[in-house]
Amino acid sequence: METAPSSASTALDAEELTEVVRGALSTLADASWDAHDKASDALTSAVLVHVLKALNGLARPYKYAVTFCAQQRVGAALHVACGGRRDSARDVIVSVPYENETIQTVLSVCASHLGLEGTGA
């Protein structure tokens, strides 16, 4: 009979989540960020898919919501905000900025614990 993993082994903290997102973004750092129209749409999709695959690779009982905001650097600041109701003991929300000479981005991840242990289901 298999035992369920302890909540300590399935817990996810903000630092770990941030490192996963930064690692995924760093692999895409050399991509052509200054592309326009369809190319930038494809790049945005590639970033989201790459981050979701990295998060799924953690094999943790979490559901992830990922948003990606990108803006060409033309002198204006990039401001983003997120909010929501969550269980602060188990759910995690992080926002990771990335910028270079041509673009400013913020990738936000909300990781919601599925809470499957002890439900009897």
Domains present along the chain, CATH in parentheses: 7-113 (3.30.1140.40)
Per the CB < 8 A criterion, the answer to whether 47 and 29 are in contact is no
Backbone torsion region of residue 115, taken as left when φ is above 0, otherwise alpha when ψ lies between -120 and 50, otherwise beta: left
Q: What is the pLDDT of residue 41?
A: 76
How confident is the model at residue 64, as a pLDDT?
Answer: 92
Q: What is the pLDDT of residue 36?
A: 58
CA torsion through residues 34, 35, 41, 43, sign: negative
DSSP assignment of 62-77 equals EEEEEEEEEEE-SS--
pLDDT for residue 2? 44
The model carries a pTM of 0.76
Tell me which residue of 16, 34, 29 sits closest to 111, measured CA to CA. Answer: 16
* One pLDDT digit (tens) per residue for the chain, 121 residues: 444 445 556 778 889 889 988 887 776 666 655 555 555 777 788 888 889 999 999 888 899 999 888 887 777 777 777 777 777 788 888 989 888 777 788 899 999 988 766 544 4
On the 0-12 / 13-18 / 19+ scale of CB atoms within 10 A, 74 is exposed
